[in-house]
Amino acid sequence: MTLALLVVALLMTGIPRGNAAELWDFIRVGKNFVAGPKWESRSGKATVQMKDGRIDIQVSYVDNLKDNAPDQLGYKSIKISGTLGSDGVLRATCTFLDTDANPVKLTGRYVTRDELQIWGEKRKVVTQKEIVFSHPPNFEFFGFLKQDARDE
């Protein structure tokens, strides 16, 4: 038994690890035509993983999140996969999971910016990350937001 655990541990150390997916805030804004056209928004969480020019996003709406684990997604409703260019332009395919809807091509933008904030006696550098996709024919958009803070 000990030998088997040692072999498994040695094998696991040789497996390359990928970048862990980060949890981002998600919002979808679009028109609802049920009782006449009106703007409607839905929010949730998304895991976003960027590595080697690729981006993979999985979205879960607020009503589908796991109750006891706010840092984990529940039932996933949308999957977005694509490429990230050096200029911040994203080209991706959006799949609405468990529906008959065809996958949709999306073009978006990834933007980061740093700002200095003072929290009491501490100076922090806050990095704002944004991903925005407009959904053709531009009557809908998907937005992803993440904020990280570190000491200056």
* pLDDT score recorded for residue 54: 95
> Region 48-68: what's the mean pLDDT?
82
Amino acid identity, residue 23?
Answer: L
CATH assignment, 21-151:
2.40.160
CB 125 within 8 A of CB 152: yes
**In the structure encoding, which two tokens stand for residue 138, read together?**
């531009």
Q: With H, G, I as helix, E, B as strand and everything else as coil, classify residue 141.
A: strand
Check residue 9 and give its pLDDT: 43
The domain limits of the chain are: 21-151
- Nearest-Å Rg of the Cα atoms of the chain is 19
Q: What per-residue confidence (pLDDT) applies to 15?
A: 35
Give residue-wise pLDDT tens across range 91-150: 999 999 988 989 989 999 999 999 998 888 888 899 999 999 986 666 788 999 999 888
Interval 7-43: pLDDT, tens: 334 344 333 334 567 899 999 998 888 887 888 888 8
* Structure-token match 């497996």, residue found: 15
Higher pLDDT, 69 or 59: 59
| Residue 12 dihedral angles phi and psi, to the nearest 5° | -70, -30
Query: 71 or 123, which is more confident?
Result: 123
- Whether residue 101 contacts residue 117, with contact meaning beta carbons closer than 8 Å, is answered with no
Integer CA distances (angstroms), 112 to 61, 126, 132, 134, in order: 24, 10, 12, 18
